[in-house]
Amino acid sequence: VQLQASGGGLVQPGGSLRLSCAVSGVTLDYYSIGWFRQAPGKKREGVACISDSSDDTYYADSVKGRFTISRDNAENTVYLRMHSLKPEDTAVYYCATDRNVCRYRLGASREYDYWGQGTQVTVSS
Protein backbone atom coordinates (compact mmCIF):
# COMPACT_ATOMS: atom_id res chain seq x y z
CA VAL A 1 0.00 0.00 0.00
CA GLN A 2 1.37 3.40 -0.96
CA LEU A 3 0.01 6.87 -0.35
CA GLN A 4 1.36 10.02 -1.99
CA ALA A 5 0.31 13.33 -0.46
CA SER A 6 0.77 16.53 -2.44
CA GLY A 7 -0.54 20.06 -2.80
CA GLY A 8 1.01 21.75 0.20
CA GLY A 9 2.67 25.13 0.04
CA LEU A 10 2.85 28.64 1.41
CA VAL A 11 -0.41 30.56 1.57
CA GLN A 12 -1.52 33.78 3.19
CA PRO A 13 -4.06 33.78 6.02
CA GLY A 14 -7.55 33.51 4.59
CA GLY A 15 -6.28 31.67 1.54
CA SER A 16 -7.08 28.20 0.21
CA LEU A 17 -5.25 25.03 -0.73
CA ARG A 18 -6.26 21.63 -2.02
CA LEU A 19 -4.30 18.61 -0.82
CA SER A 20 -4.37 15.35 -2.74
CA CYS A 21 -3.67 11.83 -1.55
CA ALA A 22 -3.11 9.32 -4.33
CA VAL A 23 -3.50 5.74 -3.11
CA SER A 24 -2.14 2.61 -4.75
CA GLY A 25 -2.24 -1.02 -3.75
CA VAL A 26 -5.79 -0.91 -2.37
CA THR A 27 -9.09 0.36 -3.65
CA LEU A 28 -10.91 3.09 -1.81
CA ASP A 29 -14.13 1.15 -2.11
CA TYR A 30 -12.94 -0.83 0.89
CA TYR A 31 -10.56 1.52 2.68
CA SER A 32 -11.23 4.71 4.60
CA ILE A 33 -8.88 7.69 4.39
CA GLY A 34 -7.85 10.04 7.14
CA TRP A 35 -5.96 13.31 7.04
CA PHE A 36 -3.76 14.15 10.01
CA ARG A 37 -1.39 17.00 10.72
CA GLN A 38 1.57 17.64 12.97
CA ALA A 39 2.95 21.04 13.85
CA PRO A 40 6.47 21.46 15.28
CA GLY A 41 6.54 20.45 18.93
CA LYS A 42 2.97 19.18 18.89
CA LYS A 43 1.33 15.79 18.73
CA ARG A 44 -0.14 14.49 15.51
CA GLU A 45 -3.83 15.30 15.38
CA GLY A 46 -6.71 14.16 13.23
CA VAL A 47 -8.13 16.63 10.75
CA ALA A 48 -10.74 14.75 8.73
CA CYS A 49 -11.67 11.30 7.51
CA ILE A 50 -13.96 9.77 4.92
CA SER A 51 -15.29 6.26 5.28
CA ASP A 52 -15.05 3.53 2.66
CA SER A 53 -18.53 2.38 1.84
CA SER A 54 -20.82 5.07 3.19
CA ASP A 55 -18.89 8.24 2.37
CA ASP A 56 -19.47 9.47 5.92
CA THR A 57 -17.13 12.30 6.82
CA TYR A 58 -15.85 13.52 10.16
CA TYR A 59 -13.88 16.63 11.02
CA ALA A 60 -11.92 18.04 13.90
CA ASP A 61 -13.78 20.92 15.54
CA SER A 62 -10.94 23.26 14.62
CA VAL A 63 -11.52 22.79 10.87
CA LYS A 64 -15.28 22.28 10.63
CA GLY A 65 -16.81 24.59 8.08
CA ARG A 66 -13.43 25.40 6.53
CA PHE A 67 -12.11 22.02 5.32
CA THR A 68 -13.85 19.49 3.09
CA ILE A 69 -12.71 15.92 2.47
CA SER A 70 -13.84 14.11 -0.67
CA ARG A 71 -12.98 11.00 -2.60
CA ASP A 72 -12.66 10.08 -6.29
CA ASN A 73 -12.78 6.30 -6.41
CA ALA A 74 -12.10 6.22 -10.16
CA GLU A 75 -8.81 8.01 -9.54
CA ASN A 76 -8.21 6.30 -6.18
CA THR A 77 -7.52 9.75 -4.79
CA VAL A 78 -8.77 11.65 -1.77
CA TYR A 79 -8.79 15.43 -1.55
CA LEU A 80 -8.74 17.86 1.34
CA ARG A 81 -9.97 21.30 0.36
CA MET A 82 -8.92 23.90 2.87
CA HIS A 83 -10.41 27.39 2.97
CA SER A 84 -10.07 30.37 5.29
CA LEU A 85 -6.68 29.10 6.34
CA LYS A 86 -5.21 30.36 9.61
CA PRO A 87 -1.60 30.46 10.86
CA GLU A 88 -2.50 27.72 13.33
CA ASP A 89 -3.23 25.41 10.38
CA THR A 90 0.51 25.38 9.65
CA ALA A 91 1.74 21.79 9.88
CA VAL A 92 2.88 18.79 7.91
CA TYR A 93 -0.26 17.10 6.61
CA TYR A 94 -0.37 13.31 6.26
CA CYS A 95 -2.91 11.02 4.69
CA ALA A 96 -3.45 7.51 5.98
CA THR A 97 -5.64 4.55 5.17
CA ASP A 98 -6.92 1.37 6.68
CA ARG A 99 -10.03 -0.75 6.90
CA ASN A 100 -12.59 -0.45 9.69
CA VAL A 101 -11.60 3.07 10.61
CA CYS A 102 -13.51 6.36 10.36
CA ARG A 103 -16.50 4.65 11.91
CA TYR A 104 -18.84 7.16 13.52
CA ARG A 105 -15.92 9.39 14.57
CA LEU A 106 -12.64 10.85 13.36
CA GLY A 107 -10.47 8.37 15.23
CA ALA A 108 -6.84 8.41 16.30
CA SER A 109 -3.68 8.06 14.24
CA ARG A 110 -2.83 4.75 15.91
CA GLU A 111 -5.86 3.19 14.22
CA TYR A 112 -4.29 3.60 10.77
CA ASP A 113 -1.55 1.26 9.52
CA TYR A 114 -0.67 2.85 6.16
CA TRP A 115 0.74 6.37 5.84
CA GLY A 116 1.95 8.75 3.18
CA GLN A 117 5.06 10.90 3.48
CA GLY A 118 3.40 14.22 4.35
CA THR A 119 3.15 17.60 2.67
CA GLN A 120 4.01 20.91 4.31
CA VAL A 121 1.33 23.59 4.65
CA THR A 122 2.49 27.00 5.84
CA VAL A 123 0.02 29.79 6.48
CA SER A 124 1.82 33.08 6.88
CA SER A 125 1.75 36.63 5.63
Contacts of 43 (CB under 8 A, 6+ apart): none
Strand spans (E) along 7-124: 9-11, 17-24, 32-38, 45-50, 57-59, 67-72, 77-82, 91-98, 114-115, 119-123
pLDDT at residue 28, rounded to an integer? 87
pLDDT at residue 55, rounded to an integer? 80
pLDDT at residue 81, rounded to an integer? 98
pLDDT at residue 46, rounded to an integer? 97
pLDDT at residue 27, rounded to an integer? 87
Q: Quick one: CA torsion of 18, 44, 63, 21, rounded to 10 degrees?
A: 20
User: Is 89 within 8 Å of 123 (Cβ atoms)?
Assistant: yes
pLDDT at residue 110, rounded to an integer? 93
pLDDT at residue 84, rounded to an integer? 98
pLDDT at residue 2, rounded to an integer? 96
Which residues in the chain show pLDDT less than 70? Answer: none
User: Is 82 within 8 Å of 121 (Cβ atoms)?
Assistant: yes
